[in-house]
Amino acid sequence: MNLFNLFCKFSIIIIFGLINGEIFDMKDDKVWKDKLSDEEYFVTRCSGTEPPFTGKYYKHKEKGTYNCNCCKQPLFSSDVKYDSGSGWPSFWDSIDQKNIKTKDDYSLGYKRIEIMCANCEAHLGHVFEDGPNPTGLRYCVNSLSLDFNKKESK
Ligand SMILES: [Zn+2]
């Protein structure tokens, strides 16, 4: 864990060094350290994973929108949430593909596709191709990366 944290700090310092001026705030490690809990920080800014079956949104069934926990950009609707049995909140589609960035991830020795918030680059989880129709996709997301916004009743 300590080595991992160290690694995370270094990569953030490198990113920090590469970015200038305007978009600086989103990449400022200190900003996120202050805004997020230790667990949220570990998952969203260090590509961590919360233990399965523990997240607050795993069995969450209310109607509304799941936003990025860091920058509040809308990511997933409750309409496409389903129980995949994986232990993490799962969605078969995103609100808008433009809101999600993907990256190949070989950290476990095989290829997975990491998903990130396109706005602030928060780590969300991974997307797999074993989801239900019509997309066949399974967006497997950490609860700690999400902030639920309940739909107002009309
Ligand atoms: Zn974000």
Residues 71 and 145 placed together within one structural domain of the fold:
yes
Residues 9 and 72 placed together within one structural domain of the fold:
no
For residue 4, report the distance from its CA to the centre of ligand 1, in Å.
22
Decide: residue 69, CB within 10 A, 0-12 exposed, 13-18 middle, 19+ buried.
buried
Tokens coding 48? 């961590």
For residue 123, report the distance from its CA to the centre of ligand 1, in Å.
9
Per residue in 24-63, pLDDT (tens digit) is 467 778 889 999 999 999 999 999 999 999 999 999 999 9
Active site (catalytic) residues: 140
Q: Is 95 helix (H, G, I), strand (E, B) or coil?
A: coil
Instruction: Quickly state the pLDDT bin for 148 (edges 50, 70, 90).
Output: very high
For residue 2, report the distance from its CA to the centre of ligand 1, in Å.
25
Residues 144 and 107 placed together within one structural domain of the fold:
yes
One DSSP character per residue, 79-91 reads GGEE--SSSS-EE
Q: Is 43 helix (H, G, I), strand (E, B) or coil?
A: helix
Overall number of domains in the chain: 2
Domain holding 107, by residue range, is 64-150
Q: How many residues does the chain have?
A: 154
Per residue in 63-102, pLDDT (tens digit) is 999 999 999 999 999 999 999 999 999 999 999 999 999 9
